[in-house]
Amino acid sequence: MSILCDHEIERLCKEQAMMLPYRSEQLNPASYDVRLGDQIMIESVATDQLILTPISGFTKENPWLLRAGQFCLACTEEIFNMPEDVAGHFALKSSRGREGYSHALSAYIDPGFHGSRLTLELHNIRQIHPIPLYPGLLIGQVVFQRMSDPPLVSYAVKGNYNNNETVRQSIWT
């Protein structure tokens, strides 16, 4: 497998809608920056389920605050349509990590994953201070790799999280 370079990522985004929306200013030499979407899921004392919480009204100047130690699920603004021979790996932007954000390790994007935003597991690892969340925040980047061959059974066929345009809790809960 080889990591895709900027012009190959751009070509796949423009010709095959690998990510929507595509913005050239988010393109890096070997990755693509992704933005935080407008919905999160947070814990509630009333239930063991996470509660869907829109954050669309929050901004950089007036953000929703993830409390110290708090966990949430969030989604990307971008919708992914992965080609059958391309996989992706999400990584938190280093600047976010330095601010106290942490991301769990479920960050792999299978070939054939389509029509969906990525669901992110965000955690504020700071001990005292909250960290801001708002739609459009550059939260991470995706590195894409071309596979040696397409898989025998695509995620488009067997995947559980296709066609999800919002943040999604595990299907097993």
Residue 37, judged by CB atoms within 10 A of its CB (0-12, 13-18, 19+), counts as: buried
For residue 66 the two structure tokens come to 């993830």
Q: Which residues belong to the active site?
A: 121
pLDDT of residue 151: 80
Q: Is the pLDDT of residue 123 over 90?
A: yes
Please, which pLDDT band fits residue 127 given cuts at 50, 70 and 90? very high
Q: What phi and psi values does residue 138 have, to the nearest 5 degrees?
A: -70, 105
C-alpha separations of 7 from 4, 12, 14, 27, 88 in Å: 8, 9, 10, 9, 16
- Kindly state the average pLDDT of the residues 138-144: 98
pLDDT of residue 172: 46
- Kindly state the average pLDDT of the residues 94-105: 91
Q: Which residue has the higher pLDDT, 159 or 18?
A: 18
DSSP 124-152: E--SS--EEE-TT-EEEEEEEEE-SS--S
- pTM for this one? 0.90
* Interval 28-65: pLDDT, tens: 999 999 999 999 999 888 888 888 999 999 999 999 99
Please, which pLDDT band fits residue 119 given cuts at 50, 70 and 90? very high
